[in-house]
Chains A and B, each alone.
Chain A
Amino acid sequence: MQTEATLAQSDVSELDLVKRCQSGDTEAFDELVTRYRTRVFGMIYNMVHSEQDAWDLAQDSFLKAWKSIGRFRGQSSFYTWIYRIVMNVTIDWLRKKKIKGGDAEFDDSIQLREIDPASKTVPKTEALPHQAMERDEIRARIEKAIGQLSPEHRAVILMKEIDDMQYHEIAEALGCSIGTVMSRLFYARKKLQSLLRDVYENV
């Protein structure tokens, strides 16, 4: 599993940073945030499909990580550890949102409205307007399909396919068994294959 850390950033090992954090060094924590903020935000965004919500949830996740950094024992990588917090925060949020009845995941208009035309997925220098539109539509289809999965299935497929995480890492992040991860992956793939077959066959 790769981090976004550059070689220069990696000069200070993750474990050292964690130890400094545990003694209250906020600058060390800032360094860890800089290393992982983009990936954490990206993962949450793919789960909730809203930039504002993803921003808030990423903030909450890092804040929670700071508060509980003293309990990190270094048995797993910091990234796996923080992913567990991220997943707890995000899945809880999705469940509460669903209970409140505010789950608008299947609302086409909202899905399309939330897509940022200036997002990185559209290469501004190369794509023609019709190509950009096409990509927006593809992305909207994917987000809608993912929105039909349960939060747990979403988490599993995104961690596997986007972040290339191993089964045991996903299991650790979600607090479940490897078997459960594999089973969820099986059903998530089946569901997405049925919903997106025409997309991946024609792209």
Chain B
Amino acid sequence: MKTFEEKWTAWLDDQLSGRELSEFEASLPDKAAAHVEKAEAKKLGELLKRELSAHPLKNEEFFSHQLRERIVQESGEQRRERAPRSPTSSWWTIPRLLWAGTTSLAVFLICTVFVMRQERPPEESQYLTQILNARVDPVVSPNGTVSIFEVKQDRVTVLWTEGLQTLPADYAAK
């Protein structure tokens, strides 16, 4: 079932015929006014066609050229997006793995030997021996005390003296 608007439009565009046309025209309250409006609609159509149908596209060739460029650009981007990622690098081949393993082992051994040499406890210095063997003369320094702090790992020795009147001759390093 067509609405009035649909029938009116079809009537204006001469799309009604036969029974449909006669029924519609019979239903119009003012047939003369309707025909005037139909004529006006035709004039409007002609005006629009005359004034709007000829807007030119300037630089037609440039339009196509620009479009081609965009298509090429877009296609390139799409290809890059679709392209499968490069296969995983075959750098870790068996010979390379063996080479890397051997090298790592050699480096490990060198480092181990070096570290072990470094960690060998140093021989007690002559200076320290003198200190340990020294005695504080209680007559000369009745309140004298000598303390020794030693961290062999760090090769640090601290000699802490208090209340000495004179430094024992034995303390002098030779």
How far, in Å, is A145 (CB) from chain B's closest CB? 10
Shortest Cβ distance from A201 into B: residue: B43
Q: How many residues of B contact A (CB 8 A)?
A: 38
Which single member of A26, A158, A183, A203 contacts B68 (CB below 8 Å)?
A: A26
Asked whether, in the complex, the Cβ of B64 is within 8 Å of the Cβ of A196, the reply is no
A41-75 vs B: 1/0 string, CB under 8 Å? 11001100001000100110011001100000000
Interface SS, B side: helix
How far, in Å, is A102 (CB) from chain B's closest CB? 22
Asked whether, in the complex, the Cβ of B2 is within 8 Å of the Cβ of A139, the reply is no
Asked whether, in the complex, the Cβ of A182 is within 8 Å of the Cβ of B71, the reply is no
Cα A161 to Cα B6 in complex, Å, equals 17
Q: How many residues of A contact B (CB 8 A)?
A: 47
Cα A183 to Cα B53 in complex, Å, equals 23
For window 31-57 of B, CB contacts with A under 8 Å fall at 37, 40-41, 43-49, 51-57
Contacts of B160 in A (CB 8 A): none
The tally of CB-CB contacts under 8 A between chains A and B is: 116
Given contacts A46-B55, A158-B52, contact A182 B5 (CB under 8 A): yes
Contacts of B45 in A (CB 8 A): 160-161
Cα A33 to Cα B2 in complex, Å, equals 38
How far, in Å, is B10 (CB) from chain A's closest CB? 7
For window 135-187 of A, CB contacts with B under 8 Å fall at 135, 138-139, 142, 157-158, 160-162, 167, 179, 182-183, 185-187
Asked whether, in the complex, the Cβ of A200 is within 8 Å of the Cβ of B2, the reply is no
